[in-house]
Chains A and B, each alone.
Chain A
């Protein structure tokens, strides 16, 4: 989406491996969000950053998931010991007014 870049666009990994998904809000918005969209579902909230800190990480499913945003701009979502159930599209979004602008997402497939 315009203004939010996510890389890679596709990632295939083996079960048990570690992956990193990157989000660059480009225009440097303070508020940044990660969502996960599983097949046949709407996006589900994972974590929200205000600046460098995670203001709300209540949506992270377990401690295998972690996200950072060390300089308050680019954010990385990290998944350890991936499982097949982690397969989904991971979306990043920045706040724009009272709405969101979403990135194109990273499609993660765990085989």
Chain B
């Protein structure tokens, strides 16, 4: 079975700091990669996704992620975080032939004004 690892469980940053959240997956075949965000009290929302092509993908709210196939990684980045980015962030993986997503355990981000 596939697995997804998110190395940072809790991250605390001041506003305007840069963000990078790590995500590694274990699967040797072709994967689709996603980052979801869950704001306090809200449902999971898609932040960005990678299927193929340019490994640097841009999502909503200034987030981007880079797929590095050789490292099995899909790290999330944002140059300057805002207080409103406080949320739980989940990396997820599936395959074109698979029926389910595999999620990481999540990273809780707190941005201090």
Q: Is A1 touching B99 in the complex (CB atoms < 8 A)?
A: no
Q: Is B34 touching A42 in the complex (CB atoms < 8 A)?
A: no
Q: Is B43 touching A104 in the complex (CB atoms < 8 A)?
A: yes
A residues bordering B, Cβ < 8 Å?
Answer: 1, 31, 33, 35, 40-45, 48, 55-56, 59, 91, 98-105
Q: Is A98 touching B96 in the complex (CB atoms < 8 A)?
A: yes
Interface centre among A42, A55, A98 (most CB of B within 10 A): A42
Q: Is B42 touching A104 in the complex (CB atoms < 8 A)?
A: yes
- A102 and B37 CA atoms in complex are apart in Å by 11
Minimum CB–CB distance from A92 to chain B (whole Å) comes to: 10
CB contacts under 8 Å to A, within B86-113, are 90, 92, 94, 96, 99-106
For residue B63, CB closer than 8 A to chain A, the reply is no
Q: Is B43 touching A102 in the complex (CB atoms < 8 A)?
A: yes
- A53 and B101 CA atoms in complex are apart in Å by 19
Q: Is B32 touching A44 in the complex (CB atoms < 8 A)?
A: no
Q: Is A42 touching B4 in the complex (CB atoms < 8 A)?
A: yes
